[in-house]
Structure 1
Amino acid sequence: MIINFLIIIQERMKIMIAGAWDETNENLLSSAFQIAKVAAEKKHIIITGGGTGIPNSATHGALAVNGISIAYSNEGHCEGGHEPATFRVATEMGWDGRSVLAVKSSDLLIVIGGCNGTLNEITLAYLNNIPIWVLEDSSEMICRLKNFLYEGKYIDKRKNVEIEFFNSAQSMIEKLNSKNILQN
Structure 2
Amino acid sequence: MTKRKKNYGRRVVQIAVLGSDKDVCTSQAYKIAYEVGKEIADEGFVLITGGGGGVMEAASKGAKAASGLTIGILFGSKKESANKYCDVIIPSGIGFARDSINANSADAVILVGGGVGTLSEATYAYFSEIPIIAMVKSGGTARKYANKFLDKRRKERIIPAKSAKEALKIIKEKIKYSEKKYKYLTVHID
Q: Structures share a fold, TM > 0.5?
A: yes
**Equivalent of 2:165 in 167, 173, 180:** 173
Q: Detail structure 1 runs of 4+ shifted over 6 Å in the superposition.
A: none
Residue 102 of structure 2 is matched in structure 1 by 102
| TM-score between both structures, scaled by the size of structure 2 | 0.79
Assess, with a 3 A threshold, how the Cα gap between structure 1 residues 140 and 82 changes in structure 2: closer, same or farther: closer
CA distance in 1, matches of 2:59, 2:106: 15
* Alignment-derived partner of residue 46 in structure 1: 47
Which residue among 141, 145, 152 is the counterpart of 1:157? Answer: 152
Write the mapping of 1:4-153 to structure 2, written as runs, cut at 5 A.
11-22=11-22, 23-94=24-95, 96-136=96-136, 138-145=138-145, 153=148
Cα pair 1:41 1:65 within 8 Å, conserved: yes
Q: Judging changes above 3 Å, is the alpha-carbon distance between structure 1 residues 141 and 35 closer, same or farther for their aligned structure 2 residues?
A: closer
| CA RMSD between the two structures | 2.7
Letter in 2 for 1:122: A
Aligned-residue offset at 1:126:
0.2
For residues 72-116 of structure 1, the C-alpha deviation after alignment (integer angstroms, 9 at most, x for no partner) is 11111213533321101010101x112111111001110011000
Aligned-partner residue type, residue 37 of structure 1: K
Structure (1/2) with the larger helix percentage: 1
Which is further off, 23-32 or 112-121?
Answer: 23-32
Identity %: 25
Q: Which runs of 5+ in 2 are unaligned?
A: 177-190
SS at match of 2:125: helix
State the shift of 1:140 in Å.
Answer: 4.1
Query: 1: distance between equivalents of 2:81 and 2:158?
Result: 35
Mark the runs of 5 or more structure 1 residues left unpaired by the alignment.
147-151
Contact 2:15–2:107 under 8 Å retained in 1: yes
TM-score (norm 1): 0.81
